[in-house]
Amino acid sequence: MKTVVVAGNPKPSSRTLDAGVRLAGLLGAEPPEVLDVIALGPGLLGWGDPEVKHAVELVAGADLAVFASPTFKATYTGLLKLFLDQFATGEGLRGVVAVPLMLGAGPAHALAPELLLKPVLVELGATCPAPGLYQLDSSYDTDSSAADYVRRWGPALTASIGSR
Amino acid sequence: MKTVVVAGNPKPSSRTLDAGVRLAGLLGAEPPEVLDVIALGPGLLGWGDPEVKHAVELVAGADLAVFASPTFKATYTGLLKLFLDQFATGEGLRGVVAVPLMLGAGPAHALAPELLLKPVLVELGATCPAPGLYQLDSSYDTDSSAADYVRRWGPALTASIGSR
Amino acid sequence: MKTVVVAGNPKPSSRTLDAGVRLAGLLGAEPPEVLDVIALGPGLLGWGDPEVKHAVELVAGADLAVFASPTFKATYTGLLKLFLDQFATGEGLRGVVAVPLMLGAGPAHALAPELLLKPVLVELGATCPAPGLYQLDSSYDTDSSAADYVRRWGPALTASIGSR
Amino acid sequence: MKTVVVAGNPKPSSRTLDAGVRLAGLLGAEPPEVLDVIALGPGLLGWGDPEVKHAVELVAGADLAVFASPTFKATYTGLLKLFLDQFATGEGLRGVVAVPLMLGAGPAHALAPELLLKPVLVELGATCPAPGLYQLDSSYDTDSSAADYVRRWGPALTASIGSR
């Protein structure tokens, strides 16, 4: 199973990225490929950058992809969306089972992964059989949220991967 | 495969219901159980009505359920939500693969099934691996929207059912 | 200033209703008209009921209306939407300055009034210059959320009323 | 009245920008300040760039701001969000009356400005008394959508500006 973690935090090597890697690990991928979007740099602001193109192909070729973002202004970051804008509508994530993951400072934005991030992934053609996951950035690495999620939704995610 | 079509149109035997039945048929269920929510009557306004309880159990026991609504005020109907409010949060649709379906007079509300109806089904614990489907009420029975949807997303839906 | 509080809780005389009345009071209306939607009964399930029609006219004629709902399945209630479905699209709340208010057991659904309830009111033609307000049902009557909201957004609401 | 048009199209001098300028003109501002976000360049990818800071201050100081975006992946662009992420939550657009404007190739994404772009502006503290406006990129400059919008919602926008 080819797994990729996409982290859309403007800060490199963020807790967002760490949370994505941990979730991917619990889902059975050890170790996943990691794409820290900010490392792609200014090529994200246009079209046709070779490094960006390579990153898009990496993600498009995954069986399972975790799209991880901190919560900025009650939704995912502009940085993550900048990367997602590079994919083809309806096709760019076809065949990819995608998990929307967001981290926030408090619980008030817990609806954002399901209401806001997931629809973008679906628009790109991803299969998203499980709810968006929201974690607190102060406790994601010690609380049970990731384990609970994997216990509840892991089988649905795995079954969707099998359907390719 | 046990399939149920839930139609949330205040008008009985509506095109909404017909579109749901057609979609269920294309997904391999022939004939599905049909639940015309309006037939449940005033018991929907409270808790504990036996007929409503029976309807909830029917839907909760399905492998696949199509939740069909006309578009009222740019979203699903109050009638459909009244019925969905009878299910237990996180558990009421556990193990049910659900398809959000909405019909509208024009294309302007095409985002509603994905952005608005699907999250309610997910909140009830349903597995929703495919995008919400929006159809025009003037052509759903003659255009290719249902067939296109089933060709594209049928395998993902079927795989999720197998994962129970 | 003619103010109406619309409460969409299936339980009559609910905390939802009380929270709406308190908010209306802080906005300068003492006492507001109160519409407890559940009291309208089965006429809500069809069209043309005289009592429902009268209620619609009452709300349509308000300068300011608070639409209050408990959080069911991460969004407003089917009961409230059943009532809103009785209004004409784009016109039914024209000239009404509307405040979306939701109460919930915890903070996780705090985005619902802004993302989900407000767009329905806007679709009916209401003017919604202030954010949706979310309150905890365990503390709305003792915490500062309503007062903070009125201090921050009262002037914008008042100015919009003046613009009719 | 100080008006700013913010255009979030990766292509400079886009139809998006033109549509924003036309709308601002109809709202009474002639000529508005224009901020073509893409011109800010790579400074958008981090924090503290002086040119980006100046652009933020320009927008924060406006009475009226039109936030214009093409529709990418059924929502606003990553580029626009990258710029909005530079504002302070709850305060960055305080006192600014904001109009969410999106252009798309077809009508299917017409709900996006109201459901997706407006909530971001509201989170930044903007006053958004009018619905989000969606225009077709093939006809925005010849159809009546902008004029209809201004006729219907201009007074509400003007009244909100007066309330500062």
- On whether any CB of chain D is under 8 Å from the CB of C160, the answer is yes
Which residue bears the tokens 């300028």?
Answer: D21
How high is the pLDDT of residue C28?
Answer: 86
Whole-number Cα distances in Å, B151 to B127, B154, D104, D147: 19, 6, 27, 42
pLDDT digits (tens, 9 = 90+) for C106-149: 999 999 999 999 999 999 999 999 999 999 999 999 999 999 99
CA angle A153, C109, C134 (to 5 degrees): 180
Strands A97-104 and A133-136: parallel
CA angle A75, D12, A56 (to 5 degrees): 55
Give percent above pLDDT 70 in chain B: 97
Question: Do the beta carbons of residue C124 and residue C87 sit within 8 Å?
Answer: yes
How high is the pLDDT of residue D44?
Answer: 98
Rounded to 10 deg, the angle between the D145-162 and C145-162 helix axes is 120
pLDDT digits (tens, 9 = 90+) for B48-65: 999 999 999 999 999 999
Q: Is the pLDDT of residue C164 over 70?
A: no
How high is the pLDDT of residue B31?
Answer: 86
What global pTM score does this model have?
A: 0.98
pLDDT digits (tens, 9 = 90+) for A65-99: 999 999 999 999 999 999 999 999 999 999 999 99
Strands (E), chain A: 3-7, 33-36, 64-70, 97-104, 133-136
Q: Average pLDDT for residues C87-109, to the nearest whole number? A: 98
Looking at beta carbons, which residues of chain A come within 8 Å of C116? 115
Q: Give the number of B-C residue pairs with CB atoms closer than 8 Å.
A: 90
Question: Do the beta carbons of residue D70 and residue D112 sit within 8 Å?
Answer: no
Q: Is the pLDDT of residue B29 over 80?
A: no
Tell me the C-alpha distance between B12 and B37, whole Å: 8
Question: Do the beta carbons of residue C134 and residue C109 sit within 8 Å?
Answer: yes
- Give Cα D112 to chain centroid, integer Å: 13
Q: Average pLDDT for residues A140-156, to the nearest whole number? A: 98
Contacts of A48 (CB under 8 A, 6+ apart): none
pLDDT digits (tens, 9 = 90+) for C18-55: 999 999 999 986 789 999 999 999 999 999 999 999 99
- On whether any CB of chain C is under 8 Å from the CB of A105, the answer is no
| CB-count exposure of residue A58 (10 Å: 0-12, 13-18, 19+) | middle
The alpha carbon of residue C151 is apart from the nearest alpha carbon of chain B, in Å, by 31
- On whether any CB of chain A is under 8 Å from the CB of C105, the answer is no
Q: How many CA atoms lie within 13 A of C163 on its CB side?
A: 28
Q: For residue C78, give the nearest of B38, B82, B124 by CB distance.
A: B82
Listed residue (D108, D107, D28, D121) closest to D68, CA to CA: D121
pLDDT digits (tens, 9 = 90+) for B90-99: 999 999 999 9
Q: Tell me the three state secondary structure of residue A25.
A: helix
In this structure, the number of other CB atoms found within 10 A of the CB of residue B46 comes to 12
Q: Which domains does chain D have, with CATH numbers?
A: 3-159 (3.40.50.360)
Whether this model's ipTM surpasses 0.90 comes out as yes
Q: Is the pLDDT of residue A163 over 70?
A: no
How high is the pLDDT of residue A164?
Answer: 55
Give percent above pLDDT 70 in chain A: 97
* B23 phi, psi to nearest 5 deg: -65, -45
pLDDT digits (tens, 9 = 90+) for B112-153: 999 999 999 999 999 999 999 999 999 999 999 999 999 999
Tell me the C-alpha distance between B86 and B102, whole Å: 20
Q: Is the pLDDT of residue D31 over 90?
A: no
Cβ separation A85–D74 shorter than 8 A: no
pLDDT digits (tens, 9 = 90+) for A3-50: 999 999 999 999 999 999 999 999 986 789 999 999 999 999 999 999
- On whether any CB of chain D is under 8 Å from the CB of B74, the answer is yes
